[in-house]
Amino acid sequence: MSLNMVVGFGGMFQFHHGVFYGVGAYATALMLTKTSLPTWIGFMTGPIVATLTGLIIGGFCVRLTRLYFAMLQISLGSLLWAIVYRWYSFTGGDDGIHGIRMPSILQSLNNSYYFILMILTLSLFLMHKILKSPFGKTLQAIRDNPQRCEAVGINVRRYQLLGIVIATFFAGVAGVLFVILERS
């Protein structure tokens, strides 16, 4: 759903959107295994770190157009993947992170399912509201004709960056849900 916001509504080719999903999952898993902070803080860490990563990568990418945007996105996404894959002592490399502690209420698979369903429903509702708002309509207008939008005074890069940041937040939420479901 967040990829649809960037590609479908925003017209930005984001081939490495899964990187933000992975960043959210790894940030959550690392927070839950390497610290003794409460679980809910670990759950909040994933979307926040994914959003900050999206802000940094998006800040570079929105300066470019179409093909160059996509190429830089792929390059930076591949760089993040290589860091996670090679930093075995910290991230577990291709084995991932195991032994993630969950709160007692999420130990049951049924409870995890309903929690994930609740978060997914809330995320879909929020994404629908965002895309039906003036922001969503502006993002569609930018997709259709960015030059005309600039001519009428819309800051195209700012809207594109905001679209990427919102989408990466939801990708981070999906990463947290993956950690809850797989526990690894």
pLDDT band at 184 (very low <50, low <70, confident <90, very high): low
Is the pLDDT assigned to residue 164 strictly greater than 90? yes
pLDDT at residue 89, rounded to an integer: 81
pLDDT at residue 96, rounded to an integer: 80
Question: How confident is the model over 121-142, as a mean pLDDT?
Answer: 96
Instruction: Name every residue whose Cβ is closer than 8 Å to that of residue 14 and which is 6 or more positions away in sequence.
Output: 3, 6, 7, 70, 73, 164, 167
Q: Residue 111 sits in which domain range?
A: 2-182
The number of domains in the chain is 1
Question: How confident is the model over 129-140, as a mean pLDDT?
Answer: 96
Instruction: Name every residue whose Cβ is closer than 8 Å to that of residue 129 and which is 6 or more positions away in sequence.
Output: none
Over the range 57-70, which residues count as b (16 or more CB within 10 Å of their CB) and which as e?
Answer: bbeebbeeeeeebb
Is the pLDDT assigned to residue 60 strictly greater than 70? yes
SS3 sequence of the chain: CHHHHHHHHCCCCCCCCHHHHHHHHHHHHHHHHHCCCCHHHHHHHHHHHHHHHHHHHHHHHCCCCHHHHHHHHHHHHHHHHHHHHHCHHHHCHHHCCCCCCCCHHHCCHHHHHHHHHHHHHHHHHHHHHHHHCHHHHHHHHHHHCHHHHHHCCCCHHHHHHHHHHHHHHHHHHHHHHHHHHHCC
Tokens of 149: 């939008």
pLDDT band at 100 (very low <50, low <70, confident <90, very high): confident
Count the neighbouring beta carbons within 10 Å of the beta carbon of residue 91. 18
| Helices 66-86 and 39-61, axial angle in degrees (round to 10) | 140
Average pLDDT, the chain: 90
Do residues 20 and 53 touch, judged by C-beta distance below 8 A?
A: yes
